[in-house]
Amino acid sequence: MQGKNKSLRVVVADNESIIRLDIREMLEDAGHEVVGEAINGRKAVELTRQHHPDLVLMDIKMPEMDGITAAKKIYETKIAPVILLTAFSQADIVEKAKDSGVLGYLVKPVQESQLFPAIEIALSRWQEMQGLEGELEKLKDSLETRKLIDRAKGIIMAAHKLGEQEAYRRIQQYAMQKRVPIKDVAQSIIKAAGGKA
């Protein structure tokens, strides 16, 4: 991570100020910026929404809102990856952490030799997840477009007594003439026929 030259913007949340200070020093010594510090999960979620950091490092046991609950809220907003910090390495905590979308887990006291590899892995997994979500969105859009075109073809086929290929060709030609996406043409045809696009 230190060798990559990319300066990260990080939110650190722990109710122990000495832990926050240690982590801040490690991060800043490596060229990263701590954009916010929180003493509880509620504030960590607030700071994450406010600063859109590259990463959140957060203790599990904090007042007001624990780290796992806060991690889940951050994960649901898809703002940043979360690495949890804990004084205990317990199987039930690890299980809950996995269910909250956490991408890393470190046992305190945090060692620099463990921190940076954990950050690198979390960021790599985060990028993979973002890429997969982008692909999923494209597939959903493609499927929706396909369904709209099929409905529009059916309307054209019935109205003009045409075959499927000819109906599609006409929709395609109209889209090219008007220089609009074929999806928009299909939606217009469906609307004009009194259906909901």
Q: Would you kindly state where each structural domain of the chain is located, as residue ranges?
A: 9-110, 137-193
Domain range 9-110, CATH architecture: 3-Layer(aba) Sandwich (3.40)
**pLDDT tens by residue, 65-119:** 989 999 999 989 889 999 999 877 666 676 676 677 788 888 888 888 999 999 9
Instruction: Give 56's strand partners.
Output: 11, 82
pLDDT of residue 3: 41
Query: What tens digit of pLDDT does each residue of 3-23 get?
Result: 455 899 999 999 999 999 999
- In whole angstroms, give the CA distance from residue 187 to residue 179: 15
Architecture of domain 137-193 in this structure: Orthogonal Bundle (1.10)
